[in-house]
Chain A
Amino acid sequence: SQQGEEDPQALSIQEGENATMNCSYKTSINNLQWYRQNSGRGLVHLILIRSNEREKHSGRLRVTLDTSKKSSSLLITASRAADTASYFCAMEDYGGSQGNLIFGKGTKLSVKP
């Protein structure tokens, strides 16, 4: 079944620096999504990249997808203290219940002012 693994598990940077998080997965996907979760809150959808896309931008976010390596990366440029949150990649689980979104373990990002 599908499973996502984020790397690193935790990341601490200074404001203004770039943050890169990686996600690897096991089985074929239609698309991969990234979500942000502030402490104790719900998840917020950031960006969706389809399997036929290699790169996508949204504001300070840049997502890449390499289907041959079954991996994706999320880059946050010029980070701000408000970017402090956990970031999850998510993809569909075709091995189990079809079409369900399975979340990776997440990367906890801390941006120090």
Chain B
Amino acid sequence: DTEVTQTPKHLVMGMTNKKSLKCEQHMGHRAMYWYKQKAKKPPELMFVYSYEKLSINESVPSRFSPECPNSSLLNLHLHALQPEDSALYLCASSQARDRVYSPLHFGNGTRLTVT
């Protein structure tokens, strides 16, 4: 079992809905990430938080809004999504972001379907 917990496992939402994805880790990691993965594709980086501060936003549309309330929690707020946003959303954490890169620990993801 993974040490990064994501909820919900599955989510179906309409294009006018507002929903949130949640991610939690208790490994004391200070970097947390959101990745988006389409079917048969590699994960693509969306956001990076380092020490609870947003350090990277990979040109993600504003309908995706990340939040890091504390060092253990990471949220992704969703609003006015499009059907093409349907994907597996993966949360990950690592000890720190530095040159000697520490491995990522992934959750099992939230399977999002936008109708």
Binding site for B on A (CB under 8 A): 30-31, 33, 35, 40-45, 48, 88, 92, 97, 99-106
Count residues on chain B whose CB falls below 8 Å from chain A CBs.
27
CB-CB < 8 A to B2: which residues of A?
42
Interface flag for B45 (CB, 8 Å) = yes
Asked if residues B88 and A103 are in contact (CB atoms below 8 Å), the reply is no
Asked if residues B104 and A100 are in contact (CB atoms below 8 Å), the reply is no
CB-CB < 8 A to B97: which residues of A?
99
| Given A35-B104, A42-B90, A97-B48: 12 more A-B contacts, CB < 8 Å | A33-B101, A42-B2, A42-B4, A42-B106, A42-B107, A42-B109, A45-B104, A48-B103, A97-B56, A97-B58, A99-B101, A103-B43
Interface of A is mostly: strand
CB-CB < 8 A to B88: which residues of A?
40
Interface of B is mostly: loop
**Considering the complex, which residues of chain B in the window 79-115 have a beta carbon less than 8 Å from any beta carbon of chain A?**
88, 90, 92, 97-101, 103-109, 111
Interface flag for B42 (CB, 8 Å) = yes
